[in-house]
Structure 1
Amino acid sequence: MHAVFQSGGKQYKVNIGQIVRLEKLNFSVGENIIFNNILLISNSSYVEIGSPNILGSEIKANILRHGKCKKINIIKFNRRKHYKKKQGHRQLFTDVKILDINYLNRDIKNGT
């Protein structure tokens, strides 16, 4: 069973118990959060696709940690023009553990 949700302009496919690396969220570590922008929920017996979101569905998650990704280097260079520019960037992230997926006040993992 899995779900697809949207956070930070990106879409993520998740299962219960999975740890997902999202763009930086402004919540403290250890706090529980709820995602409401659910695009798809799938179980072995059915698939529900939203248009654009599934009403009454939510994903409960717990914030594990915040951090910065590995540094990427951006280099711009024009030969024979005496132009060279070097720049670096480290993207902020939040690690989130998916606790539960609910659909219309039903618990999908139990199939009720």
Structure 2
Amino acid sequence: MFAVIKTGGKQYTVAANDELEVELLTGEAGDKVTFGEVLLLGGENGVTVGAPFVAGASVAAEIVDQTRTRKILVFKKRRRQNSKRSRGHRQHQTVVRITEIVAGA
């Protein structure tokens, strides 16, 4: 069974025991998280498409780690003015492991 969930403004295709990196979620390693915005469910019984979400469906996950992405350098330069600026950014992210997918009634 697989599902398409929405979190952090992005959509992810997940199955049981998958590990994925999502936008920052509150919680510590080992905490349980439930994603209620399930857009699509697929499995032996066919595919169920939500409008916009599948009623009663949810995806349970466990937080594995709180990390940060690689550094992105932002460099701005104004020509002929001897003006430049360099900054870096590291986005916070959460690594989760999908434990189970619960279909609606």
Matches within 5 A, 1:7-86: 7-86=7-86
Task: Give CA deviations for 1:44-80 in whole Å, capped at 9, x if unaligned.
Answer: 4400010110110010100000011111100111221
Runs of 4 or more above 2 Å deviation: none
- Count of residues paired in the alignment: 105
Other-structure match for 1:3: 3
User: Where do 5+ consecutive residues of structure 1 fail to align?
Assistant: 106-112
SS of equivalent residue, structure 1 residue 54: coil
SS of equivalent residue, structure 2 residue 13: strand
Other-structure match for 1:108: none
TM-score (norm 1): 0.88
TM-score (norm 2): 0.94
| d(CA) in 1 for partners of 2:104, 2:44 | 17
AA aligned to 1:52 is P
Task: Give CA deviations for 1:14-69 in whole Å, capped at 9, x if unaligned.
Answer: 11110010111011210111110000011144000101101100101000000111
Other-structure match for 2:99: 99
User: Where do 5+ consecutive residues of structure 2 fail to align?
Assistant: none
| d(CA) in 2 for partners of 1:79, 1:44 | 60
SS of equivalent residue, structure 1 residue 14: strand
AA aligned to 1:9 is G
AA aligned to 2:50 is G
Q: Identity rate of aligned residues, in percent?
A: 33
Provide the aligned C-alpha RMSD in A.
1.1
SS of equivalent residue, structure 1 residue 52: coil
| d(CA) in 2 for partners of 1:95, 1:67 | 7
